[in-house]
Structure 1
Amino acid sequence: MYQKFQQRLKLLDAPDVEEALASSKIGLEKESLRVLPEGGISQTPHPAALGSPLRNPQITTDFSEALVELVT
């Protein structure tokens, strides 16, 4: 699976793709759960270093404090 991911990333590096992405009106979204070192889902508040999830247009928590969403 990792190899397939690397192949797809390499496709995005082509000059024509870079130009198309740079002029597009779409964004990318990355969601991830905050987890504890032991593997459980974090129950701590949204990290202060990321700013307020209610006021930052690029970082939200969606429906859960543990689910951080980065929006471009």
Structure 2
Amino acid sequence: MIRVNLTKVMFDRRISSKELAQKIDITQANLSNLKNGKVKGIRFNTLEKLCKVLDCQPGDILEYIS
């Protein structure tokens, strides 16, 4: 199972969903689905934008749970 820790990273960086969605150019609905783990996949370019804006590594956002 892959756990999405995006909400925690956003909280730590003090960035709102609205602001993040605007900065990475996705809808707030798609960002919400991503935050809640309701997506089947994520494009590398979206992950790259998230990491750039949030100043983090992919492993900060995504976590593998066995």
TM-score, normalised to structure 2's length?
Answer: 0.27
Q: Of the two structures, which has the highest relative contact order with CA contacts closer than 8 Å and spacing of 6 or more? A: 2
Determine which structure has the larger strand proportion and give its number: 1
Report which of the two structures shows the higher radius of gyration computed on alpha carbons: 1
Determine which structure has the larger helix proportion and give its number: 2
TM-score, normalised to structure 1's length?
Answer: 0.26
